[in-house]
A = this chain, B = another copy of it.
Amino acid sequence: MFKLSRVLHLTSTSRHRLLEVLSSRNVEVGDSLWDRRDFTHSAGISTATNNYSAKGYASDRIFAPYTVYKGKAAFSLSPCLPTFTKLDSGTVVVDRRGSMMMTFMHSIGERKYDWDKRQKFALSATEVGSLITMGSHDSSEFFHDPSMLSSNAGQVRKSLSIKPNANSNGYFVSLNVVNNLLNTKDYFSVPVTTAEFAVMKTACSFALPHIMGWDQITNQQSRGTVGLQRKGGSQILDLEWEK
């Protein structure tokens, strides 16, 4: 699998828009005009374009992460759809589960974020369920071990914590990565306002059925593969009672 190194520079124009300097296959989605009129910045956010293209996916992908930029670090949030496989029988099944991908970057100067040293954390459906149900005084912490079932189990650990701030009017979203194989530690902490967390919750609630693949189930009728047909016979089935 190849990996592209890239630096993206975003500069504010005289009309307060952000110019995008794009490297091949990778792109920074310009920070919002509305959120960030007060500075230009340099950062690159991608959700694994190269991984996808390496697997032979269409390069026709859409990028629209929700990004929270703060003084010391930033993170972006973007839904990562499940992939499906069609079996010989015609049945379509989930191949890889979807997730909400969080990508953290350190600030490396005024309005610059270090894309090359980014760290990712993929929230599962249940972890998203935990996030969207959090009250203003609640905390959540999630642990991932990429080497869990291998001989390296426990050598690399990622933990994401979401903790209310002192006033309970926002949260600290922090990612801790300990890699004993490389002898590295990495820590990101991003303060999130109530409004930003509300966007995260609403966007995650919207995305949840999609990362679960349920939109594909409910879309079946629109696409005409199931339902909407004249009944041929009078046989009546009760799904609950049949096996």
Contact = CB atoms under 8 A, between A and B. Distances in A.
A224 to B, nearest CB: 9
Contact of A235 (B55, B78, B198): B55
- How many copies are assembled? 4
A238 B146 contact: yes
A238 to B, nearest CB: 6
Nearest to A194: B133
Contact of A228 (B86, B208, B239): B86
A81 B227 contact: yes
Contacts of A49: 91
Given A86-B230, A209-B207, A238 B15 contact: yes
A60 B28 CA distance: 30
A217 B62 contact: yes
Given A16-B148, A218-B79, A90 B58 contact: yes
Contacts of A178: none
B86 A129 contact: no
